[in-house]
Amino acid sequence: MEFVFFPNLSELQAENCGIAILSPGWIHRRRNISTSVFILGHQGTVNIQEESEVFTIKPSSICLLSEGKNHWGTERIREKARYYWIHFTTKEKPQFLSEKEALIIINNKEIAKARLNNALLLPRYMDMVNTNILRETFHALLYEQENSSFTEQKYQATVKLMLISLNEMVIDLINNSQKNEDNKSLVNTIIQLIYEHLTDPEFSVKELADMLCYNPDYLNRHFKTLMKRSLIEYIVDKRIEHSLVALIDSNETISSIAEDSGFSSYRNFIHQFKLRKDLTPSAYRNYHRMMHITNS
């Protein structure tokens, strides 16, 4: 895995951004551009080649295309696909680091503090665990472009904050992957079971503990040590995240989405949603549908 080091984050200049909505048969034309491009996969699969490397853009994957290098689609897509993109430039030329060089920075707090104080260190490609925060930021950027109160300063600040959040997510993902394998294995099993039963309103921490033959309190403490939140918080968070896609991409009723997302009652869904998003589900749906969409 190769990494890209972007010095002087404060001097980073974001240009245009958008969401590509692509139909079967589309292929990315050959391009050589003067900016870096950050891509966040959302639906389907698009293969993009940059010189000798091929990146598979798929849901929850991130990719960085380099300024001054040729990139193109390797084949026509077979199914509908979508991905978010943003072009940006840096005053100083980005530096390419090997995985070994990047991990030296990431794994040492003092080195990380010194090197990443006003910089970004991002992989050229990575499959992420959760990209909802990034996706929501893209929606906010696209919405702001059509808003009468839009300012260039706000746009630039939002892009920088998104890239900082991405940097933190990458570092957390790498650090978590290097933790004790036994602990990671149990947490991975817990997460897998949560995903398998997420939409079941009867699924609870007690039922999860019974499945794994552990005491619920022990299981919760173990999970919270690594994940920094309780099991019930994690389950509710994931159910809310499950509902977001349906709110934006479907015309299902709010009550139907609540039920399909594993909430035992409509009232509880509204309460938990407002706690996390500071909006009702209906307001969230309306806000995120008012955005500029581009096929560029």
Domain finish residue from 177, 196, 213: 177
Mean pLDDT for the chain overall:
90
pLDDT at 184: 66
Q: Are residues 167 and 185 in the same domain?
A: no
Q: Are residues 186 and 152 in the same domain?
A: no
**Closest C-alpha among 98, 42, 102, 36 to residue 64:** 36
Give pLDDT tens digits for 126-137. Answer: 999 888 889 999
Give pLDDT tens digits for 145-166. Answer: 777 677 888 899 999 999 999 9
pLDDT at 47: 97
* Higher-pLDDT residue of 289, 76: 76
Whole-number Å distance between alpha carbons of 131 and 73: 24
Q: Are residues 269 and 246 in the same domain?
A: yes
Whole-number Å distance between alpha carbons of 26 and 78: 8
Q: Are residues 149 and 270 in the same domain?
A: no
Q: Does the structure show a pLDDT above 90 at 253?
A: yes
- How would residue 295 be classed by pLDDT, with cut points 50, 70 and 90? very low
- Boundaries of domain holding 43: 3-177
Q: List the structure tokens of 53.
A: 């490397």
Q: Are residues 100 and 185 in the same domain?
A: no
Count of structural domains within the chain: 2
Confirm whether 94 is domain-assigned: yes
Query: What average pLDDT score do residues 35-44 get?
Result: 96
Confirm whether 294 is domain-assigned: no
**Closest C-alpha among 260, 285, 258 to residue 271:** 258
How does 13-37 read in b/e, with b if 16+ C-beta sit within 10 Å? Answer: ebeebbbbebeeebebeeeeeebbb
Query: What average pLDDT score do residues 187-196 get?
Result: 91
